Amino acid sequence: MNILTPKDQTAEIFPENSMQEETIATIENGKENFPFPETLLEEKMLSKEDKELLQQQWNIYNRLKGVQIINNLKLRMEAGLPVLTKGTLVHGTSILSETEENALNISKIKSFAENGVLSGEFLGIPEDLETNYCADFYKVPENMSIQEYSDYINTKIKLGVVPLSSPESFKLPSKKSSSEIAIIINTHNKDIQDLTQYDAYNAWGFSKMKNIVNEKGLLRGPRYDGKMSAILGGIPANFISGLIVGSKLLQIQPDTIRILRENFGKEVIIFDEMGNIL
């Protein structure tokens, strides 16, 4: 297995054509293997066993890309239940360009819409002291509405004399952030468990991944306990069930909703921080 390192490594790399062509699997020793993208970075030396585990999860990711998913958020809304369930994975990211003021990063939006939430290394982006080869998420603490989750994100944590901002408030739409969206994953679908069990923040997952991930990148302590998740490889786009867009981003870039809808399609529900469907 060859892991290729691209010549260009910049802070904002979301190649328009990366990973968009159909991936053809090969059969090796009776197993279906999907080739890694050419953009994959080898940021650390991996053992044969670690490479096999990474290949295993990449194979599962590619197989699950074709699974038909029923949007669990729609079902819960229709039943009058809280939209978010305990343990739901939520990924936060800025979608504003780093090079053009107040412009959306269209290639980044397309990457999430087509590839899902992947570890940066798969897209040619160094992880920068984060969890190597993992996609990072926050976990919803209990069943709650979108508005309740937004209130939770903005609530200070009292651990000492000075209240601290929640970890989520730096990466998800909040009073602190201005360019982020939240990507909600259909976490409790039975098919996704083969991916989510390899989580660096649970004991079993870490025991299997400890030589792959950068342990220094794991966020530990009372401020983070039970809130974090780092899934080896990542989650394909068809498991994205919703987006949360902050009011500050809508003020900065009024075209945000139109562009998100064009890329993610009508099946992905777009909410504001109050839980209204946009």
Per-residue pLDDT tens for 196-218? Answer: 999 999 999 999 999 898 777 78
pLDDT band per the 50, 70, 90 thresholds, residue 1:
very low
Average pLDDT over residues 142-146: 97
Q: Which of 38-52, 75-89, 99-113 has the lowest mean pLDDT?
A: 38-52
pLDDT band per the 50, 70, 90 thresholds, residue 28:
low
Between 128 and 205, name the one with better pLDDT.
205
State the average pLDDT for the chain. 86
**Region label for 226, one of left (φ > 0), alpha (ψ between -120 and 50) or beta (otherwise):** left
**Alpha carbon separation from 15 to 38, 105, 106 (Å, rounded):** 11, 11, 11
Residues 6+ positions from 210 with CB-CB distance below 8 Å? none
Average pLDDT over residues 64-69: 92
Query: Is the distance from CB of 18 to CB of 124 less than 8 angstroms?
Result: yes
The pLDDT value recorded for residue 129 is 64
DSSP state of 168: G
Q: Work out the number of other CB atoms within 10 angstroms of the CB of residue 256.
A: 23
Query: Is the distance from CB of 181 to CB of 249 less than 8 angstroms?
Result: yes
Average pLDDT over residues 21-38: 67
